[in-house]
Structure formats: C-alpha cells, structure tokens
C-alpha cells in the first residue's frame, strides 16, 4: 500500500499574486468572484451544527453570505505520482501533482461551482517577459550592477563619452563615433554601471549580404541555397553555417525592433486621436514540425505557434512558439535543483500547520521552478545530453585505441561524473517527481525547452493586448482548451468595462475545393434572389450589407449534435460547456471566403447580449429578434481567414515551414530532408517573414472584415491592340473596370501612414530600414546614433 502525503489546504498552496494579474480566480465574468482572490479570513465551519453556526456568523461577516472570495480546493487526480527515493526510500508515497479550485460564490440558491486548475502567476510572468523581449533580443543594454534596462528608463542613464570611429564614406557624409558609453546614474561608481553601446551591424563585413539573406528567406530558399548564394564569388568558398545563423538572428532582431518602434508610434497616434478604436483579431494555433538536429534520429518535434492577425488589414501582430530557446536543459536542471555544493534543492515544499505540525511534500508543478516547461522532456533532454557525451567519448577511444584499453584517468573521471549525473537526474525525474517516460530521450542536441502551451497562450494574448490601441477588442479563434483557461483572466479589465468580445468558430476544413466553391455559389445565388425580392417589396434604398444581415438572421439556427436515437448533444468541446460561457452555438448560413458550414460560439460578448444568451440551454432556439440580429452580425465578421492567408503564404514561401506530409496541420508529420533545423532558427525565420509580409510586400486584400477598397475603379479609356502580323495598332476600349489595390498590411492598418505629398504609396526599401538603431527608438541614444 502506498501512503498518501498529508492533506493540504488552499491557504497553504495558493500561489503568489502579481500586482495586476492573477490566473487563480473564478473565470466567469458574471460571477462576483471574477478576478477576486480567495479571502482566507472567511471562517470555515465544520462538524456539528455547521450550517446553523455559519448562518449566525453570516450576520456579522457579509462574505459568508455572498461567498465573496470563497473557494474550495481539491486534488487534481489526473496527475497522480509516486515518490520512492530520498526520504521516501522503502516507504513510497503517492501524491497528486496539481490542485483544482472551485468557486463558491453564491448564485441564486446555489454556488457558482466553476472549477479550474491552479497555475503559477510567476511562470506566466516569466513567459510574458520572454515573449515581450522576443527571447531577450529586444532587451537592450542592462546595468551590470542592478539589472535596470536602459529601454525601461533611459532618463536614469547619462552619457559618458564615445568610443571608436566610423570613417566617412558610403551613406555616411561625415565620420562619427561607432559607439557610446552610458552610466546608470543610481549605480555610478559600482562595477558594471558603465556600459558601452554600439550597433551590431558595424561588425558586418558585407552589408549587402544582409538584404540578400532577407530575400532568400522570404523567397523560400533553404539554408543550403543561402550558403551557396553568399559564397565568395572568387573562391566559391561557402559561408559558415554559424555565421549565417548569426546574420539571421541579427535580421530578426533588427526587424522586430523596427516593427516595435513603428507599432508604438501607431498606438500613440491612435490613442491621441481620441477616435473610438475597435480591433478585430483573428487567432489560430499552428503546428510546425522541426527536424531534430541529429542525423541519427530522424524524427520531428511539433512546435505550437500562436498567431494573431488583424481582420481588417491582415496585419499579423505576433507569432509565438511554445519553445524557449534560451534554456540549456543540463544547466537549467542543475541550477534549479542542485545547490552550489551539489545538494538537492527545490524538491520539497515545507508546510507548517496551525496545530504546530510541520511537514514537507514534493513540490507541485505550479511550485516547481521548471513548472513553466514541459518537464518530462526537459529532464529527458538533460539526461540525454550526458548519455550522448559518454557515448561519443567512448566511441572515439574505442575507434582509435581498440576495446579493452584503459582510458586516461581524467577522461575516465569525466565519464564517471556523467554516470553520476545521469543517476541523479533519473532519481529526481522518475524517482521523486514521477515524470513519465518520454520517447524523446535522445532529443536535445540544441538548446531550449518546450513550454507548456497554456503559459505561452496567456503570455501571447497579454502581449497582444498591450500592443493594441485603447478601445474595444474582438478576438476570434477556434475551439482551444488552453484559451478557456486564460482568456477571461488576460482580458479581465476589458471584460469588466464591456470592451471585449471573444468568438469561437469552426468550419468545414476537410471539404474539397470544388465542393466548397459550389457551396459558396449556391449561397450567393440564394442571397441574390433574396435581395431582388426584398428590394421589390421594400424599396431600393436597402444596402447590400443590410440585406445580407437580414438574410442570415432569418436563416441562422442553433447548432447541436444529434445522436442516433434523437438525443441532442452540445456542439462545443467539453471545455466550452462550462457555465461561465453561453451554451448556445449558432450555425450561420453564410458560405463565403473559403470558410463554409460555419458554426460560431460566443464565450464572451457584450453584457447586453450575454445575459439573455446565457439564460438559454444549448439546444434552444434564439427567438429575440434583436439578439438574433446581434449574433448574425458577429457571425458574419467572425473569421480566422487573415491567419490562414498568412500561414499558407508562409508555407508556400519559406522552406522550413512546409508542411510535412498530409494537408492537415496535425496529421502525421514525416522527416523533411534539407529542413534541418534548430527551433531558434525556425522562430527567427517566421518572425523575419512576418515583418516582411506586414511591411514590405504590397498585396490585394479581401475578406469578410476587410476594409472596403480592395479594388479601385479604372478610368474609362482606350488601350492599344496590335493587329497580328503587322506593325499597325488599333484602339480598343479598356476591358477592366477595376484594378486591385496593392497595399501592405501595415499601410491598411495605418501603421505605415500615407504621406502628405500624395504620391503613390510604396513599401519601404529594406536597405533604408535595416541599418537604423530601431532598438533605441524614442530614447536619447536613438538621436546620438542617427545624427
Ligand atoms: Zn464563480
Ligand atoms: Zn544600476
């Protein structure tokens, strides 16, 4: 019989709250505990006459009656573990890795009852910072004494001379310093307070190569092709892979800094304009597989990317992978689970109860330093590195010296150490925390670790929220379980202000192209007939949009699944069946823009519509005409098309993101030859492609939420046609009546605004963008570098 660890209670395990963020509260916008942390001062009544005593006490403690701040906790029994090493040797204990909370706020005669798993706010913050600084590349100079970032508070830094000299020539009219020294004033005199800043590209020998690399990346060239393109024209000597990688990382950093500076300006302009801003954002999750680096192990690792794009302009705001390339698995595990003296650390959580009993228990995932990461993989990867090291050393000696020959003592010592480390890691991994085995033991020849998707999702959405101008946000996505856990918390303040809506759509993805076209044609035909009839009876002044809405409002229906015996089941997945969301999902008749047979759910919408909708059961018909019209309007604009468009362009144009096998994003991937990749490089590729797509490439854009004007009228006139076999031309009237309007998403968004000179709009020239100090935009350093 395995023993259980002591019972824990909520005050003992409740994670720390951030100043303005807390994932561990009720997620129902209509519950009094929405955003309210547990109140541990509420007395708990147990035993004889508990309810009577509670009623008496409720007279003086209002929270007892309302349940404000009242939660209960239970075990997360999906993750049972057994520890059988160290203090549990010969005496194993079982425990649950995680806890769930249940909201006990009063709701009528009942309690709220919304449950959720406990997460760590600190892990969220860590992930948020990672995404905000793009894995550190947008961090900028940091004071070596106290860690203050120059970009956070440039005013605290003073200039302290220059260094180096760039001679005049090229685009430079006069010589200028190559770098500047700054001092963090509060730390003046301390070691590290004086920092030297220069621009990375000044060390590049061939600046021209940078634009060529950029063009290669956005035109689908592989690393191999790039090395050939950049080879020395005289000797044919290819550029080294690591030098190429460092150029790619430089490009990513520069373009991200450029984009950040521009979007910041855009946000400031929008906020200052006083106009009401309503952003509609399409969000989707995309899986891209990375080949493992080793040639021996031809397997793929799927990485999950969160992508968010503006529906009106097609601007892709972010693409974030659930992968942290800055984590070295061996280093991470040793740093966090071993003390300086090699003693085990951070394994146990100490608890002391009011009765005076103190005890320890294995740390749960939201208490562990590695809880943000996919831990089984992290530990396996750390162990795998030691194993690869040992095998490599042994093989090398066996090959050159033959078997049976004693190894040099220092080598033997290292091998013994590797053996010890592996044993130690195994004890922590399986013996103590009970992480299950993984088939990825050998994987990990590059740095990094997979992050739990829930944290990446929350951080992605929080970063997105902070990038957008003040105003309303409508988020449209697909049914994702991770979203349910975090969306109400990330957008809590906006939900409270009634400035946030969240729709979830699903549509037929398996359909063949001809069938999809036929559906769209059928819809268009029915709509036209409806318009004709309506105009005949109601008059001509009805707009197309009004008639489209009317047509769809009349024909929308409640979506549910019908079993064989006629039983009805909710359309949504289990996570969306929580009572924090309206249960009604609707089937919209609109078949257009490639998304057909669409069903839309409304997890969060304006309070005015949310309240009546929440009162309906999942299979009820919506009768209220105003509510029906409101849902139709929303369903007509609910699309993830901007993300799909971006992704198909990405897959067509960049070689590493080509889908391996099958057309479905999640179907069995296969090894892609030539796409040897390090996730950090893949992530750089995607960011480079994204900024290029947003800023440098004009395209026509159409979509359900697109601003009108994807086409411009062509002035009537004549064009010349040559008579075959002669030099004679005749004039014929122009055929086309409209021409496509070619703009970049940044132009449509307004982030690349129209110049006053009225000349045709052109996308910026990358050569003029790449060498400016974008990272320091808006700080005194920007001016210093620019002058
Ligand atoms: Zn609640
Ligand atoms: Zn400092």
Residues 445-495 pLDDT 10s = 567 889 999 999 999 999 999 999 999 999 999 999 999 999 999 999 999
Reduce the secondary structure of 300-322 to three states and give it as a string: EEEEEEEEEEECCCCCEEEEEEC
Q: Which of 376-385, 466-475, 482-491, 547-556 has the lowest mean pLDDT?
A: 376-385
CA of 149 to the centre of ligand 2 (A): 8
Nearest ligand to residue 113 Cα: 1
Q: Which helix (H) or strand (E) holds 523?
A: helix 513-538
Nearest ligand to residue 67 Cα: 1
Reported as half-sphere exposure (CB side, CA atoms, 13 A), residue 523 has a value of 21
Nearest ligand to residue 32 Cα: 1
CA of 118 to the centre of ligand 1 (A): 15
Indicate if the pLDDT at residue 266 is higher than 60: yes
CA of 184 to the centre of ligand 2 (A): 5
Tokens 């020395």 correspond to: 232
CA Rg value for the chain? 30
Nearest ligand to residue 149 Cα: 2
CA of 133 to the centre of ligand 2 (A): 19
CA of 183 to the centre of ligand 2 (A): 8
Q: What is the largest CA-CA distance in the chain?
A: 109
pLDDT top residue among 406 and 704: 406
CA of 107 to the centre of ligand 1 (A): 8
CA of 65 to the centre of ligand 2 (A): 50
Exposure class string for 120-153: b at 16+ Cβ within 10 A, else e: bbbbbbbbbebbbebbebbbbbbbebeebbbbee
Minimal CA–CA distance to 194: which of 163, 162, 160, 164?
160
CA of 458 to the centre of ligand 2 (A): 31
Alpha-carbon gap, residue 497 to 507, rounded angstroms: 31
> Angle CA(28)–CA(31)–CA(37) in degrees, nearest 5?
85
Nearest ligand to residue 36 Cα: 1
Q: By three-state DSSP, how is residue 49 classified? A: coil
CA of 224 to the centre of ligand 2 (A): 44
Alpha-carbon gap, residue 468 to 751, rounded angstroms: 11
Tell me the pLDDT of the chain averaged across its residues: 88
Residue 738 binned pLDDT confidence (cut-offs 50, 70, 90) = confident
CA of 582 to the centre of ligand 1 (A): 15
Write the DSSP string, 436-496: PP-TTTT--SSS-EEBPHHHHHHHHHHHHHHHSPSSEEEEEE---HHHHHHHHHHTHHHHH
CA of 139 to the centre of ligand 2 (A): 15
State residue 757's pLDDT score: 80
> Could you list which residues have their CB under 5 Å from ion ligand 2?
143, 145-146, 148, 184, 187
> Quick one: DSSP state of residue 24?
S
Residue 79 contacts residue 69 (beta carbons within 8 Å): no
State residue 190's pLDDT score: 94
Beta bridge partners, 283, equal 308
Residue 604 contacts residue 488 (beta carbons within 8 Å): yes
Alpha-carbon gap, residue 480 to 604, rounded angstroms: 14
CA of 113 to the centre of ligand 1 (A): 6
Residue 298 binned pLDDT confidence (cut-offs 50, 70, 90) = low
Indicate if the pLDDT at residue 49 is higher than 90: no
Beta bridge partners, 74, equal 100
Nearest ligand to residue 142 Cα: 2
Instruction: Give per-residue pLDDT as tens, 642-700.
Output: 999 998 888 887 766 654 443 444 433 444 444 456 788 889 999 999 999 999 999 88
Alpha-carbon gap, residue 416 to 178, rounded angstroms: 49
CA of 782 to the centre of ligand 2 (A): 21
Going along 292-416, which residue ranges are E strands? 300-310, 316-321, 323-324, 348-352, 358-362
Alpha-carbon gap, residue 705 to 684, rounded angstroms: 29
CA of 145 to the centre of ligand 2 (A): 5
CA of 115 to the centre of ligand 1 (A): 8
Mean pLDDT of 23-35: 96
> Could you list which residues have their CB under 5 Å from ion ligand 1?
26, 28, 31, 33, 103, 105, 112, 114
Q: Which of 34-43, 59-68, 416-425, 454-463 has the lowest mean pLDDT?
A: 59-68
Alpha helices in 604-743 (DSSP H): 607-614, 625-637, 641-653, 679-695
Nearest ligand to residue 187 Cα: 2
CA of 784 to the centre of ligand 2 (A): 21
CA of 182 to the centre of ligand 2 (A): 11
CA of 262 to the centre of ligand 2 (A): 28
> Quick one: DSSP state of residue 428?
I
Query: Which tokens belong to 574?
Result: 């289990």
CA of 191 to the centre of ligand 2 (A): 9
Residues 6+ apart with CB under 8 A from 132: 138, 463, 466
Indicate if the pLDDT at residue 295 is higher than 70: no
Instruction: Give per-residue pLDDT as tens, 600-618.
Output: 999 999 999 999 999 999 9
Residue 170's alpha-carbon distances to 179, 741, 785, in angstroms, are: 18, 36, 16
Query: Which tokens belong to 97?
Result: 């890795």
Alpha helices in 230-302 (DSSP H): 241-273
- Enumerate the domain spans of the chain: 3-118, 138-198, 329-447, 481-636, 701-741
- For a pLDDT cut of 90, what percent of the chain falls above it? 61
State residue 324's pLDDT score: 94
> Quick one: DSSP state of residue 510?
S
CA of 109 to the centre of ligand 1 (A): 14
Tokens 């307004």 correspond to: 750
Residue 13 contacts residue 368 (beta carbons within 8 Å): no
Residue 515 binned pLDDT confidence (cut-offs 50, 70, 90) = very high
CA of 602 to the centre of ligand 2 (A): 48
Reported as half-sphere exposure (CB side, CA atoms, 13 A), residue 781 has a value of 31
Instruction: Give per-residue pLDDT as tens, 203-255.
Output: 776 778 899 999 998 988 888 888 888 888 888 888 888 889 999 999 999 99
State residue 700's pLDDT score: 87
CA of 22 to the centre of ligand 1 (A): 14
Alpha helices in 146-240 (DSSP H): 207-218, 223-229
State residue 781's pLDDT score: 94
CA of 638 to the centre of ligand 1 (A): 28
Alpha-carbon gap, residue 750 to 752, rounded angstroms: 5
Nearest ligand to residue 182 Cα: 2
Residues 6+ apart with CB under 8 A from 184: 143, 145, 146, 148, 156, 157, 193, 195
State residue 552's pLDDT score: 94
CA of 148 to the centre of ligand 2 (A): 5
Query: Which tokens belong to 115?
Result: 């449950």
- 771 CA to centre of own chain: 28
Alpha-carbon gap, residue 593 to 641, rounded angstroms: 8
Indicate if the pLDDT at residue 303 is higher than 70: yes
Question: Phi and psi for 281 in degrees, rounded to 5?
Answer: -115, 130
State residue 291's pLDDT score: 66
Beta bridge partners, 316, equal 309
Q: Which helix (H) or strand (E) holds 425?
A: helix 409-426
CA of 684 to the centre of ligand 1 (A): 41
Query: Which tokens belong to 413?
Result: 């010592």
Query: Which tokens belong to 129?
Result: 């910072």
State residue 102's pLDDT score: 96
Mean pLDDT of 552-567: 93
**CA-CA-CA-CA torsion for 647, 478, 517, 549, nearest 10 degrees?**
-120
Alpha-carbon gap, residue 426 to 420, rounded angstroms: 10
Measured in residues, the chain has a length of 787
Alpha-carbon gap, residue 676 to 660, rounded angstroms: 13
Nearest ligand to residue 103 Cα: 1
Nearest ligand to residue 150 Cα: 2
CA of 150 to the centre of ligand 2 (A): 9
Nearest ligand to residue 144 Cα: 2
CA of 743 to the centre of ligand 2 (A): 45
CA of 105 to the centre of ligand 1 (A): 5
CA of 447 to the centre of ligand 2 (A): 30
Residue 288's alpha-carbon distances to 217, 283, 285, 673, 675, in angstroms, are: 17, 16, 10, 15, 12
By CB atoms closer than 10 A (0-12, 13-18, 19+), residue 405 is: exposed
Alpha-carbon gap, residue 391 to 744, rounded angstroms: 52
Alpha-carbon gap, residue 291 to 295, rounded angstroms: 9
Helical axes 679-695 vs 641-653, angle rounded to 10° = 120
State residue 663's pLDDT score: 42
- For a pLDDT cut of 70, what percent of the chain falls above it? 93
CA of 464 to the centre of ligand 2 (A): 30
CA of 354 to the centre of ligand 2 (A): 42
Q: By three-state DSSP, how is residue 214 classified? A: helix
CA of 345 to the centre of ligand 2 (A): 30
Q: Look at strands 358-362 and 500-506 and give their pairing.
A: unpaired
Residue 736 contacts residue 728 (beta carbons within 8 Å): no
Indicate if the pLDDT at residue 369 is higher than 70: yes
Query: Which tokens belong to 27?
Result: 């997620």
Mean pLDDT of 353-377: 92
State residue 446's pLDDT score: 66
Instruction: Give per-residue pLDDT as tens, 708-731.
Output: 567 777 777 888 888 888 888 888
CA of 71 to the centre of ligand 1 (A): 9
pLDDT top residue among 634 and 661: 634
């Amino acid at each position: 019989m395995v023993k259980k660890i002591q019972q824990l209670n909520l005050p003992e395990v409740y994670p720390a709250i951030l100043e303005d963020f807390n994932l561990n509260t009720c997620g129902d916008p209509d519950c009094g505990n929405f955003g309210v942390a547990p109140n541990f001062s509420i007395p708990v009544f147990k035993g004889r006459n508990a309810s009577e005593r509670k009623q008496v006490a409720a007279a003086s403690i209002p929270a007892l009656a309302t349940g404000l701040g009242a939660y209960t906790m239970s075990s997360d029994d999906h993750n049972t573990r057994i520890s059988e090493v160290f203090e549990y040797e010969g005496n194993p204990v079982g425990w649950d890795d995680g806890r769930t909370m249940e909201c006990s706020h009063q709701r009528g005669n009942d309690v709220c009852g919304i449950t959720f798993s406990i997460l760590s706010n600190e892990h969220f913050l860590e992930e948020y910072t990672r995404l905000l600084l793009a894995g550190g590349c947008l961090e900028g100079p940091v004071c070596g004494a106290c860690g203050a970032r120059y970009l956070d508070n440039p005013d605290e830094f003073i200039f302290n001379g220059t260094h180096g000299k760039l001679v005049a020539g090229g685009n430079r009219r006069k010589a200028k310093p190559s770098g500047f020294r700054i001092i963090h004033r509060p730390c003046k005199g301390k070691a590290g307070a004086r920092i030297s800043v220069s621009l990375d590209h000044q060390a590049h020998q061939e600046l021209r190569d940078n634009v060529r690399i950029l063009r290669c990346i956005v035109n689908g060239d592989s690393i191999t092709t790039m090395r050939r393109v950049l080879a020395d024209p005289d000797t044919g000597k290819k550029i080294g892979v690591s030098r190429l990688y460092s150029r790619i990382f430089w490009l990513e950093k520069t373009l991200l800094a450029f984009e950040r500076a521009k979007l910041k300006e855009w946000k400031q302009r929008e906020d200052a304009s006083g106009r009401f801003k309503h952003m509609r954002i399409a969000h989707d999750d995309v899986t891209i597989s990375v080949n493992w680096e080793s040639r021996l192990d031809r397997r793929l690792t799927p990485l999950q990317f969160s992508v968010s794009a503006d529906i009106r302009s097609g601007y892709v705001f972010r693409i974030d992978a659930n992968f942290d390339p800055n984590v070295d698995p061996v280093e991470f595990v040793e740093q966090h689970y071993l003390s300086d003296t090699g003693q085990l650390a951070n394994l146990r959580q100490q608890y002391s109860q009011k009765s005076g009993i103190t005890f320890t228990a294995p740390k749960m995932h939201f208490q562990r330093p590695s809880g943000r990461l996919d831990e089984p993989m992290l530990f396996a990867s750390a162990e795998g590195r030691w194993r690869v090291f040992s095998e490599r050393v042994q093989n090398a000696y066996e090959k050159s010296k033959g078997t049976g020959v004693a190894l040099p003592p220092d080598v033997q010592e290292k091998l013994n150490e590797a053996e010890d480390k592996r044993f130690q890691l195994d004890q922590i991994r399986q013996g103590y925390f009970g992480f299950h085995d993984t088939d990825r033991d050998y994987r990990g020849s590059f740095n990094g670790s997979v992050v739990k998707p829930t944290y990446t999702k929350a951080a992605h959405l929080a970063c997105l929220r902070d990038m957008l101008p003040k105003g309303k946000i409508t988020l449209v996505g697909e049914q994702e379980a991770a979203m349910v856990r975090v969306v109400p918390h990330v957008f809590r303040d906006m939900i409270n202000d009634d400035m946030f809506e969240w729709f979830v759509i699903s549509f037929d993805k398996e359909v063949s192209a001809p069938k999809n076209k036929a559906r769209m044609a059928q819809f268009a035909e029915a709509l036209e007939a409806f318009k004709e009839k309506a105009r005949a009876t109601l008059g001509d002044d009805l707009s197309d949009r009004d008639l489209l809405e009317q047509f769809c409002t009349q024909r929308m229906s409640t979506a549910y699944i019908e079993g064989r015996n006629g039983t009805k089941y909710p359309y949504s997945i289990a996570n969306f069946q929580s009572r924090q969301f309206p249960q009604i999902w609707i089937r919209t008749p609109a078949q257009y823009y490639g998304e057909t047979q669409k069903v839309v759910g409304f997890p969060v919408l304006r309070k005015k519509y949310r309240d009546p909708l929440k009162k309906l059961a999942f299979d009820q018909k919506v009768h209220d005409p105003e509510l029906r019209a409101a849902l139709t309007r929303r369903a007509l604009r609910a699309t993830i098309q901007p993300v799909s468009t971006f992704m198909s362009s990405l897959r067509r144009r960049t070689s590493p993101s080509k889908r391996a096998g099958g057309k479905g994003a999640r179907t069995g991937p296969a090894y892609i030859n030539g796409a040897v990749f390090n996730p950090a490089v893949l992530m750089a590729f995607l960011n480079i492609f994204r900024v290029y797509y947003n800023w440098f490439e004009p395209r026509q854009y159409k979509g359900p939420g697109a601003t009108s004007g994807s086409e411009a009228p062509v002035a009537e006139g004549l064009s010349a046609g040559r008579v075959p076999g002669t030099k004679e031309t005749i004039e014929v009237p122009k055929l086309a009546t409209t021409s496509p309007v070619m703009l970049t998403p940044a132009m449509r968004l307004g982030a690349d605004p129209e110049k006053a000179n009225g000349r045709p709009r052109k996308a910026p020239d990358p050569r003029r963008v790449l060498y400016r100090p974008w990272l320091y935009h808006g700080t005194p350093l920007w001016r210093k570098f620019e002058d």
